[in-house]
Amino acid sequence: MSTVADLNHVHRVRRAARPLGAATRAQRDAVLTSLAKELRRDVAEILSANADDVEHARDRGISDALLDRLTLTDERLEDIAFAVESVATLDDPLGEELENRTLDNGLHLRKVRVPFGVVCVVFESRPNVTIDAAAIALKTGNGIVLRGSSQAVHTNRALVERVERALERHGFSRDAVWNFPPEDRDAFRELIATEGSLDLVIPRGGEGLKKFLLEHARVPVLAAAGGNCHVFVDESAERDMARDVVLNAKTHRPGVCNAAETLLVHEARAHDLMPYLVAHLENAGVKVRTDEAAFDIEFLDMEIAVGTVKNVEEAIAHINAHGTLHSEAIVTSDQASADAFVAGVDAAAVYVNASTRFTDGGVYGYGAEVGISTNKLHARGPIGLRELTTTKFIVVGDGHIRA
């Protein structure tokens, strides 16, 4: 596909999104309600498409953890439909007033939330992202360009078709969502390199995907990428709590970005707690790595790097050096250590005595999410409704002129 054709398609997305941005909350929520119904009605067809993708991925030898990310089940599809309904119940961010005041010169100023315009989400083999991103974009009056991976091509096509049907059912153009062909890598590189083509690009995947976009894009990029997450077990940690948090953070779903990839243990507990935790990890099927090179790896699998540190300050320094600013946890009974960890660790989410697996838009009450932003500008943490809006100043006068 040529760059001109792609730009024309983006223009169609932009035109189709404008009526959404001008619609009432009830009208946009009706689209989401219909989308949830479409997903529930067509379970068999969607799962059949997903089964084709899973079979092809298995034939290519991808890991069990990545297969898990790709696989849909009846339960997971129901969770996706429920997330769409949850987004529909959330307050409408469009038109929300952030400021309302009269200036000294008599001008009346309002600052309100408005749609971004056209948002592009680039993601790997996570079919739920297709619907989560579409739902959040449509609720906020944005057009959405979805570029999933070739591993999920049949699943994504089936899911986007349900989004298109829901739009048309309520009088909106199906062009408000575009399923960009995943195989056309060169065309996508040219599109993101064209200034002004897209209003925002959000990568949801590994560090390689984020680096690709940051290298080639001439449009704004909101990084929602890899998660090299840590659990630090402090000297005062309670034994069973440490075991439960570490096992959950690593093994609950090892192929997702908020899974722990490194375990750090206070050296004062290296003689008792370290072997205890390692034994439980290995019994759960986790491969334990102690080599220094492992500290920079996002395994996304049943594998974890393990090391000791002298104190909480050294744990903080290690995490800030090797982490990806995603999610970090401390297990401790010492409030001073907890406070130091929270203040010192540079990440979008920091946990005290809780698993990193809780970093999730649905868990945080956002209904769903586009990704977890590791950026510091515009948005950080789960990217929900308000994170897909920008602002506009509306200034009203009475023939005012500036002297």
3-state secondary structure labels for all residues of 151-209: HHHHHHHHHHHHHHHHHHHCCCCHHHEEECCCCCHHHHHHHHCCCCCCCEEEEECCHHH
Would you state the pLDDT for residue 224? 67
Nearest-angstrom CA–CA distance, 214 and 207: 10
Among 138-147, 160-169, 174-183, 201-210, whose mean pLDDT is lowest? Answer: 201-210
- Cα–Cα separations (whole angstroms), residue 189 to 87, 181, 198, 306: 31, 12, 12, 38
User: What is the number of structural domains in the chain?
Assistant: 2
Regarding whether 218 and 348 lie in a shared domain, the answer is no
Regarding whether 141 and 19 lie in a shared domain, the answer is yes
Residue 81, domain member (yes or no):
yes
Residue 385, domain member (yes or no):
yes
Nearest-angstrom CA–CA distance, 227 and 342: 18
Residue 132, domain member (yes or no):
yes
Residue 401, domain member (yes or no):
no
Nearest-angstrom CA–CA distance, 344 and 88: 37
Regarding whether 189 and 255 lie in a shared domain, the answer is no
Would you state the pLDDT for residue 27? 98
Regarding whether 189 and 282 lie in a shared domain, the answer is no
CATH number where 74 lies: 3.40.605.10
Would you state the pLDDT for residue 225? 59
Between CA 375 and CA 186, with CA 194 as vertex, the angle to 5 degrees is 95
Regarding whether 115 and 29 lie in a shared domain, the answer is yes
Regarding whether 309 and 253 lie in a shared domain, the answer is yes
Regarding whether 217 and 233 lie in a shared domain, the answer is no
Residue 174 pLDDT > 70: yes
Residue 378, domain member (yes or no):
yes
DSSP assigned state of 260: E
Q: Concatenate the DSSP letters of all residues of 320-365 into one string.
A: HHH--SSEEEEE-S-HHHHHHHHHH--SSEEEESS-GGG--TTTTT
Nearest-angstrom CA–CA distance, 375 and 381: 8
**Which tokens in the block code for residue 376?**
């510091």
Residue 160, domain member (yes or no):
yes
CATH number where 238 lies: 3.40.309.10
Residue 403, domain member (yes or no):
no
Strands (E) located in 220-324: 229-233, 260-266, 287-289, 303-309
Regarding whether 63 and 206 lie in a shared domain, the answer is yes
Regarding whether 256 and 166 lie in a shared domain, the answer is no
Regarding whether 386 and 298 lie in a shared domain, the answer is no
Regarding whether 121 and 63 lie in a shared domain, the answer is yes
Mean of pLDDT values over 355-368: 94
**Which tokens in the block code for residue 188?**
């996508």
Structural domain harbouring 179:
3-224+370-396
Residue 307 pLDDT > 70: yes
Question: For residue 266, which of 321, 314, 308 has the smallest C-alpha distance?
Answer: 308
Mean of pLDDT values over 273-284: 98
Residue 103 pLDDT > 60: yes
Residue 311, domain member (yes or no):
yes
Mean of pLDDT values over 70-76: 96
Regarding whether 315 and 267 lie in a shared domain, the answer is yes
